[in-house]
Each structure stands twice: as C-alpha cells, then as structure tokens.
Amino acid sequence: MQATHAGHDRWIDLTELTAQHCQQKAFCHKIIHRFHVESVDVGDVGFVDGGTLLEWIDTAAYATAAQWCAGHCVAASVGNLHLERPIGLGELVELHADLVYTGRSSMHILVTICSGDPSLAKAGQTAQCSIVFVAVDTGGNPVEVPRWTPVTMLDLQRHRQARARVRMRRRIEGAMDAMSYTDGSTAPRTTLRFRAAAADVDSDGNVRGGRVMRWIDEAAYACGVGWTGSEVITSYIAGIRFHQPVFVGDAIEAGARIIHTGPRSVHASIHVTNADTVGGRSCVVAHGVVVVVAVGDHGGARLVQKWEPASDQDTRLDQHALFLIELRQYIEPFTTAAIFATDAESAGSGDCTDKIG
C-alpha cells in the first residue's frame, strides 16, 4: 500500500474541467467516472490501496457537488465505507456519484463503486460511501445551495436513507469527539510527518479532501503493518471528519494508534494535525477511524495477534471501537440502482456522465 499519486493525477484534469464548466452544467445531480485500473494504482499486494480509492471517491463526489452548487465546496465528512472485496489490476471501475440530499449549505453525495472483469457485461458493486460537502464563498464561509428534490422512486428511497444517516452520523461523530486521547494509553502508535506540497492542493490553494484521506489511510496502513508484521489492506472506514483547511507548506502529522483488534483486523484511530498555527500549538485538521485487514500469502485475510488493553485509557479506546461497531449495525445501506433500473433510466434529465477510458 505504497503512496501512488499517479493514479489520482489522471483525475485532476477531469475535476478542473468540471469546475470550469460548472455554470454550464449546473444542477446536474449525478456523474459517472469509468476507467481501468493500471499498475500505478495498485499496492504491493496487487490491489488498489485505500488511499488511492479514497482519492477517487473524493474526486467523483466533488465533481457532482461542484456542479450542483455551481461554485466551490469543501469536504466536511465521510462515512461508513465498507470495501466488500479488493479491486485488482486491470479491472474496470465505475464510480457513480449521486446527490441524495441537500441541507442549507450541505450536499450529501453517495458514491457507489462497481468493479470487475472488463470482459463481463456488468461490473458488480464493490463499495458504497457517503460524503458531505459544504458550499463556501471565497472567504471560506458557508453559502446556500439549491434545494434538491427527489423525483424517482430510487431518489426518494435514497433521500430518506440520507436523512436517517444524518442522525446516525451525528451519533458517530459525537462519540468520536467525546473520546479523549491521552498519553495514558499503551497502544502501539505510528506517526507520519511531512509538509503539504503544491501537488496536494486544488485551484483555491486548499489541500484536497482526498489527499487528507490518503494521509489518514497511509497512517492506518503503517500502524497495521507495524502490528501484524504483514501487508494489510483497508476494509472499512467508520468515519472521517474534517475540522480545518490545510495549505501548502503546513507541517502535518498523521498519528495512528490501535484502539481494537478483531480476529483478522486492526482498528486504528487517526488524527491529522497541523503544527503551523498561531501560537505554535497543533490543531486537529481531520480525524478518522479506519479498519485494516491482514493479508496472507495467497491474498486472503489471515489471523492477527490480539491487542490487550493494559491501562484505563486503553480500555476506554477498546470500548469506543466496540461502540462504533455496534452503531454500524443500525446504518441502513443505500438502495442500489439495480433495484429501480427502469425507473432510474426513465429519469434522464439532470444526469451528467463523464467517462474516461
């Protein structure tokens, strides 16, 4: 799961093109990105690494959000991504980014990832992920967005599910915010340090949300490898929340610590902090919980050593992870388009499809 930015770079022109023409294509509420997985997209175990996938998801979701608001927007949160199976070299990948709900300034985007053998007639669903974007002005202040009204049965189902997720997301984010992380923990930690580079930012000078998500995934990967002694792949994102923007030259730390282990998985909490702040005190710019799975010799999941809490702080972290697992059971999956295929195809207005081979 090495950092491979070349795969994401294929998307930069597409995103910038979308931004340049967003006035012409305003009020389109869905986009499809289609491409083949290349060697630059996969990690050491032959699968697309979590950071690359998260950047793809962010790019597709941003394109839909920017087109809807006809302006600039920033990622606010990412929730509940479960990768049902790894994506391999040569597979055909489709990312369907659909607007499913709008608040006053927020846009809730559902990204459905489908992948499979390009020789097959249809790619199967690999994952779903919801991202919330907030429309902002040049000063970074939230601005109102056009209200989206569901039309089809699929729209109505997803709109209802998105509203239900708003409440669940608040519970998850509240639990994550309430959890304290002190030096009283003996849990294994990994910290990555670097400076935000020009290649990490968008046209407005802010580091892209997808790049911050890559940093979170890379810290989780390093933490997982350190504990298991083997390759790991991202299996689940319990949630990622963005707190502050990041700019070129900022000194960044991505710190991951283990909060729970399953039979084959390592659960890590990651805080991304910026040390270049007024007064010299670090501030949290993003926080996420990521689950990685250890990979065996033949590509399957293998058993991992159990982490045993050894302090009160460790026990609280472990219970926090178990609580997040429990909340996950109450999240209703978004309805798939296949269930309402005829209905969706009949509602062609508002669809915008960007495809690259």
Q: What is the pLDDT of residues 303-331, one digit of tens each?
A: 999 999 999 999 999 999 998 888 888 88
Say what the pLDDT of residue 339 is: 55
pLDDT digits (tens, 9 = 90+) for 180-229: 787 888 999 999 999 999 989 887 778 999 999 999 999 999 999 999 99
Question: Nearest to residue 207, comparing CAs of 321, 75, 50?
Answer: 75
Can you give the residue ranges of every domain in the chain? 6-346
- State which fold the 6-346 domain adopts: Thiol Ester Dehydrase; Chain A (3.10.129)
Quick one: which H or E segment has residue 260? strand 251-261
The list of the chain residues with pLDDT below 50 reads 1-26, 342-349, 354-357
Q: What are the DSSP calls for 86-117, one per residue?
A: PPBTT-EEEEEEEEEEE-SSEEEEEEEEEEE-
Strands 106-116 and 189-195, by their bridges, are unpaired
Residue 79 has a pLDDT of 85
